[in-house]
Amino acid sequence: MRAAEIQNELTEVLVTEEQILAKLDEVAAQVALDYAGKNLLLVGVLKGAIMVMADFSRALPTVVPMDWMAVSSYGAGTKSSGVVQIRKDLDEDLHDRDVLIIEDIIDSGLTLSWLLENFESRGAKSVEVFALLRKPDAAKVQVDCKYVGFDIPNEFVVGYGLDYAERYRNLRDVAILAPHVYS
C-alpha cells in the first residue's frame, strides 16, 4: 500500500519507499565493510523493525545470522511510557558477539538505551545501532547510533513497519498520521 491510497489518513509523506531502499543499500555496504571478518549478529526489534530487517539483510552482501527481541514502551498510545517490557527475548547467546541492533525508529531513546545496557550485560563483544529513522527533538536520553537512515520531525509517523494500534505497518512509505485518526 502506498501513501497516495490513504492520503486522507496522512498529513505528509516524509520518506518514500524508494528513498528507504536506497538508504538501506548504502548502509548495508558500510556495515559489510565495518564488520568484515567479525562475528556479526543482527538483532531486530519487533515488531516495527520487520520491514527494515528484511530489506536491510537482503542488501547485505554476506550471510549474517539474525535474532529478534520484542520490547514495548508504547502500548496502544502515541507516546512512549518509558517503561520497557520484554515480550520476546533473544534465542542467541550474545557472549563475545558483535551485535548490530536494527531499529525502525529512535524516539525518546529510552527503550534503546535500556537495550544497549541489557546486551552489554549479556557479554556482547560490541553493540551498535542502525536506526532507519531518528527523531532528534524527541530524545529524552542520548543514545549513540552508529548508522542512521533519516532524521525526521517529532511527529507521530506510520509506515514501513511503524504502526498505530497495529495498523499501517504495511504502508510502503513513512508518513505523518493525521491527528483525526488517533484523536
Among 93, 66, 71, which Cα is nearest to 82's?
A: 71
Mean pLDDT of 134-143: 89
Compute the average pLDDT of residues 155-181: 97
Q: What is the pLDDT of residue 81?
A: 56
Q: Which grid coordinates belong to 32?
A: 559489510
Percent of the chain with pLDDT over 90: 83
Q: Per-residue pLDDT for 36 more than 70?
A: yes
Instruction: Write the pLDDT tens digit of every residue in 95-134.
Output: 999 999 999 999 888 889 999 999 999 999 999 999 999 9
Q: What's 61's DSSP letter?
A: S
Q: What confidence score (pLDDT) does residue 82 get?
A: 61
Non-local CB neighbours of 77 within 8 Å, separated by 6+ positions: none
The fold of 17-152 is Rossmann fold (3.40.50)
- On the question of a cis peptide bond just before residue 135, with omega within 30 degrees of 0, the verdict is no
List of residues 6+ apart from 181 with CB closer than 8 A: 9, 164
Model confidence band, residue 58 (pLDDT cutoffs 50, 70, 90): very high
Options 107, 144, 163, 173, the catalytic residue? 107
107 in catalytic set: yes
Average pLDDT, the chain: 93
Q: What is the pTM of this model?
A: 0.91
Whether residue 76 is predicted with pLDDT greater than 80 in this model: the reply is no
